[in-house]
Structure 1
Amino acid sequence: AARSVSAAKVAAGDAAYLASRTALQVHGAIGYTREFDLSLWILKVRALVGAWGTPAEHRARILESLLEGR
């Protein structure tokens, strides 16, 4: 179960980060302004990607659980 949670956290974080970066590319510099909500979403994504463990920690957890099953 822990491996599944870590895999889901990494996948969701990567998808959210990619979506925010793509949105910023589409909208350009206005994405950083306070008048456009994208700046808020980018801040939230950055905070949530590192919350409850960094992606590196979760990837290490997945690798560890896979190596234990050998």
Structure 2
Amino acid sequence: MITGRVVSADEAGAVVLAAGGRLRATWGSALLVASASCPDALARRGDAVRLTVWPDGRTTLDAVLMRPVDRSA
């Protein structure tokens, strides 16, 4: 597993900047289940996340590790 920072996100997944460069990741099963009851569970721009790169080359975004605090409010 690797970590990175979300650059952009959409309904299918996210683009993440990791140590090896930019990766396109789809949502992992745990995030999909969590988002069914709480849409904020999905990663958004700026979030630190954990990724899994599978043997077949696919990448999934499995967890939001840290979300930046919005201090504008």
Does TM, normalized by the shorter one, top 0.5? no
> How does the TM-score come out when normalised to structure 1?
0.21
Structure richer in helix, relative to its length: 1
User: TM (normalized to structure 2)?
Assistant: 0.21
